[in-house]
Structure 1
């Protein structure tokens, strides 16, 4: 009988030993004045608009991003090789202002309602994905600033991975070229 009991318990013990350890989801980290953007290496608090933090497996600290769009782009890049354990974004429904998006008002990116295609630009002057915990706050922002409300899984890759469309020539550049042409024509005549 003891042998039969031992044989029935042994497979359970072996299965328990083989069970993969569950890695706890890291908590968001408060953004400090020393936090630097992963790509630009600039101080985050010097730039307006929502920020993001990406936690990587085995990394002691998250990567901070000057724009939410950059963090989602980082997540979706084919070259991204480290396991991402969490992405947190500023909850703009609880942000003091656009200029001051907050240091501790983080929500998980997959829980956010994003305004995509608004007229507001992020901290680096590019199009931004504006995150909200409250869908009504997101809808109100979209009504005021344009864009549409989407969940993270609904945002197309080209909204974050494609380069931004820029005008062929800035008006100041055109004006400068015209003045240069006129000056050159004056010297020739």
Structure 2
């Protein structure tokens, strides 16, 4: 072994070890969690299953349980509000193309939000009465929905901030419990 290699070999090994120690641990993406009767909406704290329309779950780094959202719109808003944590490692939404119906969106038909096609500005409102961002796993399912209900199709990142953050007028036929929950989510969006 030359003098050069005897001097620099330990330095090279030390540099590799130090570099390995400084690598950031990337949080592993958790699988979606089946929706249960105990799931409560992050903003409204109402039972998620009591409301119709698509749902969402957001997984934060280091948190074993997801945050649940009674409306997908609220999950999108969560990602856009500056005061909410940004350490989410997965966002899953109901695949409404696989849902039994609007009233029964499913407990385990989740799709990654980045892979979904969203219909906004349709005639359908979400479980809390606000305009909804309706997710589909297949673009053809979204197109079929638009043909029947109006709206336009976008990807998650393209949903306009004002669509999910703007104040919402309450529907006149909304029951008192839903109106209370919606007032909480609207207040959270106005912060």
How high is the TM-score relative to the length of structure 2?
0.83
Q: Secondary structure at the match of 1:128?
A: coil
Distance 1:24 1:73 in 2: 24
Tell me if structure 1 keeps the 8 A contact 2:129–2:170: no
Gaps in structure 2 of 5+ consecutive residues: 174-191
1:15 alignment partner, one of 14, 19, 23 = 19
How high is the TM-score relative to the length of structure 1?
0.84
How far residue 25 of structure 1 moved from its aligned partner, in angstroms, is 1.0
2:155 alignment partner, one of 145, 151, 156 = 151
Of residues 54-63 and 107-116 in structure 1, the stretch that sits farther from structure 2 once superposed is 54-63
Deviations 1:160-183 (A, max 9, x none): 00112458xx69xxxxxxxxxxxx
1:95 matches 2:108: no
Deviations 1:93-121 (A, max 9, x none): 11111110001111111111000011111
How far residue 6 of structure 1 moved from its aligned partner, in angstroms, is 2.3
Q: Which has the higher strand share?
A: 1
Instruction: Tell me what 1:28 maps to.
Output: 32
Instruction: Tell me what 2:116 maps to.
Output: 112
CA RMSD of superposed structures (Å): 1.7
How far residue 132 of structure 1 moved from its aligned partner, in angstroms, is 0.3
Q: Secondary structure at the match of 1:8?
A: helix
Gaps in structure 1 of 5+ consecutive residues: 172-189
How far residue 78 of structure 1 moved from its aligned partner, in angstroms, is 1.3
Distance 2:145 2:135 in 1: 10
* Count of residue pairs brought into register by the alignment: 169
Tell me if structure 2 keeps the 8 A contact 1:87–1:108: yes
Distance 2:128 2:160 in 1: 21
Instruction: Tell me what 1:47 maps to.
Output: 51
Tell me if structure 1 keeps the 8 A contact 2:79–2:86: no
Distance 2:166 2:160 in 1: 10
Distance 1:108 1:151 in 2: 11
